[in-house]
A = this chain, B = another copy of it.
Amino acid sequence: MVIGPRQDRRPTMNDVAARAQVGLRTVSRYVNGMTNINPEMAERIRSAIEELGYRRNLAAASIRPGQTSGVIGLVIGDLANPYWAALARSVESVAAETGLLLTIASSEEDGARHDWVVERLLQQQVDMIIDVAPRTVGRSWSHWSPPLPPVVFVDRPGDLAGADTVLADNRGGTRDAVAALLAGGARRIAFVGDDRALHTMDERYEGYLLAHAQHGVVVDPTLVFETSHSSGQAVDLVARLLREGRADALFAANNRAAVGALLAFRTVGTRLPIIGFDDFEAAPLFDPPLSVVAQDVEAMGRAAVRAGLDRLQGDDGPARVQVLPTTLQLRGSERP
């Protein structure tokens, strides 16, 4: 009977050390890419690894305090929304550049689910958490018992002191968009958006007010709608607006609202000048092409990972809030 590893047991570092006739320590140094290893030993280790089909167990390597898991956790609303998908893509891409893996979890905008996911991510020992605070907020971040990995909030501010934040210039972007509509002659611009309890919505609403103020135009409060959670709700709302003829332009405060407005245009058979917030792939394909305030999602993802990485490397300066500029993409739909 042969003495050796069981059939289905994967080879360990010990097996490699034994086979290569070197100490465990040396194998560890080898797989960790350390220099200063006797070339001859290195070669023995290399071939032992190959022959054995050895694969490092990163879970075991990371149980020691102070060790990193090499995994970033990202909590977003929902991968179905192209905006979150784009953010996730950006984060994944930057993470991969650094050799990190990305675990993505959806909060479905629900506080309880968000908290479960965060807890799970923490248990999994992720190196950092990039968090989009959900619409209905759960327990406060500050209630999580330390030590916590670096936390970075994206898109919306969170409630953890010391956490960095990456936001888009919702206010300025909206102001520019609404200003463009006003410059086109519109005077009764409807704001079709979601609940202003959402930080982004509130900021966009402020931008909407600001543009009006700067142009000396008075806002009609009955043209402000905060109930477009989904495109379906926006459809009904915009259809009604079109029939009533009360508005002469539309600002769609997120991509759901924009899609709903376009559907309503089609249903009712008439349209209004419109600008949306958040770009999406199909926006240029409509007739006329949809103008939007585009966020630099790529840059936001990159900035978030960067911030977390800096913290990981010991940066313990005060929390930073980065507000990234938006771009007004005028494609035609802003005209009557």
Tell me, yes or no, whether A287 is within 8 Å of chain B by CB.
Answer: yes
Residue of A54, A122, A124, A287 with highest tally of chain B CB at under 10 A = A124
Find out whether the CB atom of B106 lies under 8 angstroms from the CB atom of A104: no
Find out whether the CB atom of A89 lies under 8 angstroms from the CB atom of B79: yes
A111: B residues at CB distance < 8 A: none
Return the chain B residue nearest A56 by Cβ. Answer: B123
Tell me, yes or no, whether A334 is within 8 Å of chain B by CB.
Answer: no
A62: B residues at CB distance < 8 A: 59
Tell me, yes or no, whether A323 is within 8 Å of chain B by CB.
Answer: no
Contacts A82-B82, A122-B55, A285-B259: A102 and B101 contacting too (C-beta < 8 A)? no
Residue of A59, A65, A146, A286 with highest tally of chain B CB at under 10 A = A59
Which residues of A (81-95) have their CB < 8 Å from a CB of B? Answer: 82, 85-86, 88-89, 92-93
Tell me, yes or no, whether A15 is within 8 Å of chain B by CB.
Answer: no
Number of interface residues of A (CB under 8 A): 58
A90 to nearest B CB, angstroms? 9
A26: B residues at CB distance < 8 A: none
Residue of A54, A57, A93, A282 with highest tally of chain B CB at under 10 A = A282
Find out whether the CB atom of B104 lies under 8 angstroms from the CB atom of A147: no
Find out whether the CB atom of A71 lies under 8 angstroms from the CB atom of B124: yes
A96 to B119, CA, bound (A): 13
A284 to B232, CA, bound (A): 13
A71: B residues at CB distance < 8 A: 103, 124
Find out whether the CB atom of A55 lies under 8 angstroms from the CB atom of B8: no
A42 to B52, CA, bound (A): 45
A79: B residues at CB distance < 8 A: 79, 85-86, 88-89, 92
Tell me, yes or no, whether A120 is within 8 Å of chain B by CB.
Answer: yes
Find out whether the CB atom of A63 lies under 8 angstroms from the CB atom of B59: yes
A108 to nearest B CB, angstroms? 9
A74 to B286, CA, bound (A): 33
- Starting from the known contacts A80-B86, A88-B104, 14 additional A-B residue pairs (CB-CB under 8 Å) come to A10-B147, A53-B145, A57-B63, A58-B124, A59-B69, A60-B63, A71-B124, A79-B92, A82-B281, A96-B117, A102-B103, A104-B104, A259-B282, A282-B286
- The 8 A-B residue pairs with the shortest CB-CB distance, nearest first, are A53-B145, A282-B282, A79-B89, A85-B85, A60-B63, A58-B123, A103-B103, A59-B125
- In the complex, 14 of the A-B residue pairs with CB atoms within 8 angstroms, ordered by the A residue number, are A10-B65, A10-B145, A55-B145, A57-B125, A59-B62, A60-B63, A79-B88, A79-B92, A85-B85, A101-B103, A101-B105, A102-B104, A104-B104, A259-B285
